[in-house]
A and B are shown apart, each in its own frame.
Chain A
Amino acid sequence: MPRHLLSAADLDRDEVIEILETAASMHDIQRRDVKKLPALRGRTVINLFFEDSTRTRSSFEIAGKWMSADTINITAKGSSASKGESLRDTVLTITAMAVDALVIRHSASGACRQVAGWVDASVINAGDGTHEHPTQALLDAYTMTRRLGDLAGRRVVIVGDLTHSRVFRSNVLLLGTLGADVTVVAPPTLMPSGAAEWSRRDGFVLSHDLDEALFVGPAADVVMMLRVQRERMSGGFFPTAREYSVGYGLSRERVERLRRRNEDVLVMHPGPMNRGLEISADAADGLGSVILDQVSAGVAVRMAVLYHLLSGDHSVRDQDSGREGTT
C-alpha cells in the first residue's frame, strides 16, 4: 500500500481489491452492537478540514473512532493565505504534535499532495478542490461491486459538471483501474479542458448527448449523476436550469427507458443532490437507486483505508528516509 492516498491513481488493482475486501469486513462489523476494533489503538488521526463537509468529516471521524484511533477534528476555514499564514506553516504547526495521519479537505486542487511533501504523517485526500476525492471513488466502487461483482467490462455512465468535479476525476481513474467501460457525459462547457486527449490516453468515452450514451450501444450497468451547481449559470456554462435538466438530467422517463434495457441498472449520486436539476425524485428514490448504499459504505471504506495506511509497520517501511516508527 502507498503511504498516502492522494489520488485514486495511487492504488493498483490488487490494492483496490484489498481495500474493498477489508471494507466488506468492516461493513459487517458496523452491524454489531460493539463496533469498536482495537486495530489503530494509539494512533492519532487528525481531520483537517479547510472546507466544510459534514458528511465526509463525520464519516472519517466515525471510521477512526471505531478503529480505536484518537481522532481529532480541526476546522481551518478560510484560506490560510488570507490570514497571512502559509499552508505549510499551518500544517507543520498541527503535525508538530505526533500525528499518524492527516485527513485533509481543501478547496484548492493539489493541496493534499503538497502537504504530503512536507509532513511525515500519512496524508489522506478527503477532497481537494476540483481535483480528486479518492475515498468517494472507493466507496462508489464498493457499492457497485456489492451489486455487480467484478466491474471489468461493466458499463458505467458518469453525467454532470465534470469540469468542477473531483468525484468524476477519482472515479474515472479508479474505474479504469478496475477495467470498467466508462462513458462521461456533459455539455462541452462542462467538460474538463483537454478531455479529448485525456480520454484517448486513458481509454474512456466522451459524449455530449445523454440519450445517445444511455440508449445506443450496450446497456449501462451504472448511471452516476454528479451535482451541478446553479451558480455555474452565471459563468456562462449553460443557459438555464431547465435547459440543463432537459438535456442532462436523469428524468423519470430516462430511468424507465434505462430499466427496460437493463432492469438491474444502478443509479448513483455522490450527494448532495439537486433534485429536479440533475436528478428527478423518481430516479433518486426509485428502484435501482443505491444512493443510500453509497452513504452507508462511506464509514466502512474509510475504516479500510485508515487500516491499510496506518496499521502496518512504518518503521520498516520508512527506514530509507531515516524516520522512526510513528507513535
Chain B
Amino acid sequence: MTRTDREVPQGHPVDPESRIVLGPDDIARALRRIAHEILESNKGAEDLVLLGIPSRGVTLAQRLAVLIEEVEGTAVPVGSLDITLHRDDLRSQPTRTPMRTEIPGCGVDGMVVVLVDDVLYSGRTVRAALDALSDLGRPKAVRLAVLVDRGHRELPIRADHVGKNLPTSHAEKVQVRLRAHDGIEDTVRIAAGPSHVGGR
C-alpha cells in the first residue's frame, strides 16, 4: 500500500506566464487576519473545529489552527473533509480517487465548524462539503474561510472569512502554492488559461 505516498506533498509546477498577486508575506498576513476574525465572530475558541477541504484546504486549516493557538493559547481541533463522493460533476470527469476524511475526536455535533479551502469560485465544492458534513453530524453552525475569493459564483454561497478578493475572468486560472504542500514558496498567481477551481 502506498497510501502515505499520496499524502506526501507533491509539488505542482507553476505556470511561467503567470503573475504573482499574493506573496508569502501577504498570505501570512491574510491568514493571521482570518484567525482573528474567526475568534472574534465565535467569541473565543470554544466549540471550534477547523475542517480543511483536501488538499490545500487542509494545509491552510492547520496553519489557521496554529495561529489561533498563538492568540488564544488553546489548541483547536483540525480535520479534513473530502468532498469527492459528493461532487455533482462526477459523471463529466474521469473518476477521481477519494481522499481521506478525518474528523477530530470531538466530532461535529453541536460544534462550530469552519470549512477551509484555498479558492472560492463556483461554490460547488462548498455545496458538496455541506452535504458531506451533514452525513457526519449536525454542527451548531458552519462557517467558510477561504484564502482567495475569485468571484463567478454559481450557487447562493458566500464566504465568512476571505483572505483576498480577486477579480478574475473565467478565462484566467488561479494557482495557489503552499510550501507545506507544494514544497515551493507560498504564492497566489493568476495565469491565462482555462478557468480552474483552485489547485485540487
Contact = CB atoms under 8 A, between A and B. Distances in A.
B41 interface: no
Nearest to B5: A17
Interface string B136-148: 1100000000000
Given A21-B1, A21-B6, A37-B85, A311 B135 contact: no
Interface in B9-31: none
B86 interface: yes
Interface in B92-114: 92-101
B131 interface: yes
A39 B90 contact: yes
B43 interface: no
B101 A28 contact: yes
Given A34-B135, A308-B95, A21 B3 contact: yes
A311 B99 contact: no
Contacts of A21: 1, 3, 6, 97
A145 interface: yes
B91 A311 contact: yes
Given A32-B136, A34-B135, A39-B85, A312 B1 contact: no
Interface in A29-85: 29, 32-34, 36-39, 67
A178 to B, nearest CB: 9
A17 B1 contact: yes
B100 A145 contact: no
B101 A25 contact: yes
Contacts of A33: 137
Nearest to A18: B97
A22 interface: yes
Contacts of B99: 25
Contact of A37 (B2, B94, B100, B135): B135
Contact of B86 (A17, A28, A37, A312): A37
B6 A32 contact: no
A21 B90 CA distance: 18
Nearest to B92: A313
Contacts of B134: 34
B82 interface: yes
B2 to A, nearest CB: 6
Contact of B100 (A18, A20, A28, A39): A28
Nearest to A33: B137
Contacts of B98: 22, 25-26, 307
Interface string A187-218: 00000000000000000000000000000000
Interface string A289-327: 000000000000000000110011110100000000100
Contacts of B97: 18, 21-22
A149 B5 CA distance: 12
Contacts of B135: 32, 34, 36-37
A145 B1 contact: yes
A25 B1 contact: no
Contacts of A145: 1
A313 B136 contact: no
19 contacts: A17-B1, A21-B3, A24-B100, A25-B100, A25-B101, A28-B101, A32-B135, A34-B135, A36-B135, A37-B85, A39-B86, A67-B85, A149-B1, A150-B1, A150-B2, A307-B95, A311-B96, A312-B95, A313-B91
Interface of B: 1-3, 6, 82, 84-86, 90-101, 131, 134-137
The 5 closest A-B CB pairs, nearest first, are: A312-B95, A34-B135, A39-B85, A145-B1, A37-B85
